[in-house]
Amino acid sequence: MTGALRVAVSTVIFSLRGERLMIPLVRRTRDPFAGRWALPGGWLGAEEGLDDAAARTLADTTGLSASWLEQLYAFGDVDRSPDRVVSIVYWALLRSDLVEAQRSAAGAPENVEWFDVDALPPLAFDHADIVAYGAWRLRNKVGYSRIAAGLLPDEFTLTELRSVYEAVLGRRMDPSNFRRLIEGSPALVPTEGMRTGSHRPARLYRYDAELDSIDPGPLSS
């Protein structure tokens, strides 16, 4: 039957560990590419939509639940797998403060490890290209949207927000230039709270999701 082939759904889910941008990978237990690391994913179910399949296969393989999930691209080169497979790939963000909690709750799934996106092991299929494209999309998008908030708790200091930008973009930013640029954003709302601790107290901010300029996807329009 023309047009009939297998459809998989996979997810590149980013989190921060300190200043490193990390993704979880799953070690394959069967051929093709047995023993290699691959993106979390699985087959699209007959009775589930693409977004649901992405969330389900991510949870099934890693125990993780994304703070933000968005479709990235459909990969369908003829030779990307021994059998013909079209992969609908999502990219996602996970707040760093939730990573450990979710891993513990899921009972630390086997065959899953986190890797620095700039120091990946050899990956199965075309997954190295897919991760590179996902990282490119993240870096591109962080410049003109509130996407950085998907890597932070609900409230954060400007220094914490700058750290996210620095980790994603892979370069240092001047603190006072950053503050000037970012404080002009109407979506960044100062709260009454302050972060106290070993440093001098710093104002806490939150993002106003109503002013979101992220591509909402076709289903929320």
The residues binding its own copies (CB under 8 A) are: 1-8, 43-50, 53, 71, 73-78, 84-86, 88, 129-130, 132-133, 136-137, 140, 144, 215, 217-219, 221
Nearer to its own copies, 119 or 219 (CB): 219
Distance separating alpha carbons of residues 71 and 215, to the nearest angstrom: 10
Shortest distance in whole angstroms from residue 133 CB to its own copies: 4
Shortest distance in whole angstroms from residue 49 CB to its own copies: 5
Shortest distance in whole angstroms from residue 53 CB to its own copies: 8
Shortest distance in whole angstroms from residue 143 CB to its own copies: 10
Nearer to its own copies, 13 or 158 (CB): 13
Nearer to its own copies, 33 or 202 (CB): 33
Distance separating alpha carbons of residues 49 and 47, to the nearest angstrom: 7
Nearer to its own copies, 49 or 201 (CB): 49
DSSP label at residue 56: H
- Residue 119 Cα distances to 14, 20, 30, 114, angstroms: 14, 10, 24, 11
Q: Could you tell me the sign of the dihedral formed by the alpha carbons of 137, 142, 144, 148, in that order?
A: positive
Shortest distance in whole angstroms from residue 60 CB to its own copies: 13
Stated as kind and residue range, the H or E segment containing 181 is: helix 175-183
Going edge to edge, which strands form the sheet with 37-38? 37-38, 20-27, 112-116
Distance separating alpha carbons of residues 51 and 54, to the nearest angstrom: 5
Nearer to its own copies, 97 or 212 (CB): 212
Q: Quick one: tokens of 183?
A: 């404080």
